[in-house]
């Protein structure tokens, strides 16, 4: 591991807006009251990378709380550092394996989920790693409020079509879907937020897919 990564890992251990691994379990069911010190809705950004979506939404919606979730600490460092420097109190980060997410949130604790440009896991053998695999959806259902929305934004056509297929097969409610986000009626201020990877994809004229659905 490079010196810069080591430095960032050491630094985020001292950040008050980052919880690493087992440390986050202590806040299960208590994120709003114990970390954010309010009773506002909580929104998760899964596979958040540098946390561009969570960070931008936290600025747009001060009446909500946002938590970016990822395993890569050197990426989380960027969003957490910016959040601290800019005094964004309604933003936190959780460094965990998303497979273990049920251990960190309680029933009805989360209002909405965003999945922004995750690894599409294109190989059939890695289907269970896709963040919209039914096994993951079952995990989300344990802590997402009834009717809570899940948003997927991706450049990967395969992951988008896979998710559409699963939503239909499972009889879930689809609120919005498009394979041409920037030409669609759904494009708005929130969907205009661009991650580091999205900017790269757009330079290569890739279409951006978006689907919003709920589990009940």
**Catalytic site positions:** 119
Predicted confidence at residue 20, as pLDDT, reads 93
Tell whether 120 and 148 lie within a shared domain: yes
Look at residues 53, 69, 96 and tell me which one is the last residue of a structural domain: 96
Here the tokens at position 24 are: 């986050």
Rounded-to-integer distance, Cα 180 and Cα 142, Å = 31
Check whether 203 has a pLDDT greater than 90: no
Number of domains forming the structure of the chain: 2
pLDDT tens digit sequence for 13-25: 899 999 999 999 9
What is the domain range of residue 55?
1-19+37-96
Tell whether 89 and 111 lie within a shared domain: no
- Compute the C-alpha angle 139/91/9, nearest 5°: 85
* Assigned domain for 101 exists: no
Average of pLDDT values for 44-67? Answer: 96
pLDDT tens digit sequence for 131-183: 999 999 999 999 999 999 999 999 999 999 999 999 999 999 999 999 999 88
Name residue, tokens 């691994």: 21
């Amino acid at each position: 591991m490079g010196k810069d990564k080591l430095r960032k890992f050491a630094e985020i251990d001292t950040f008050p807006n980052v919880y690493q691994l087992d440390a986050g379990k202590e806040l299960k069911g208590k994120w709003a009251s114990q970390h954010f010190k309010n009773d506002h809705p909580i929104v998760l950004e899964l596979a958040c990378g540098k946390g561009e979506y969570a960070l931008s939404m936290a600025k747009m919606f001060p009446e909500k709380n946002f938590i970016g979730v990822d395993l890569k600490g050197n990426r989380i460092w960027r969003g957490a550092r910016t959040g601290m420097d800019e005094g964004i109190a309604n933003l936190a980060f959780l460094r965990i394996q998303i497979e273990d997410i049920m251990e960190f949130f309680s029933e009805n604790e989360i209002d909405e989920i965003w999945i922004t440009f995750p690894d599409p896991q294109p190989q059939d053998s890695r289907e269970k790693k896709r963040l919209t695999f039914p096994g993951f959806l079952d995990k989300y259902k344990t802590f997402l409020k009834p009717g809570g929305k899940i948003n997927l934004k991706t450049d990967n056509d395969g992951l988008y079509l896979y998710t559409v297929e699963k939503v239909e097969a499972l009889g879930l409610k689809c609120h919005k879907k498009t394979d041409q986000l920037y030409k669609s009626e759904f494009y708005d201020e929130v969907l205009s937020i661009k991650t580091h990877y999205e900017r790269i994809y757009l330079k290569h004229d890739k279409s951006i897919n978006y689907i919003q659905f709920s589990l009940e």
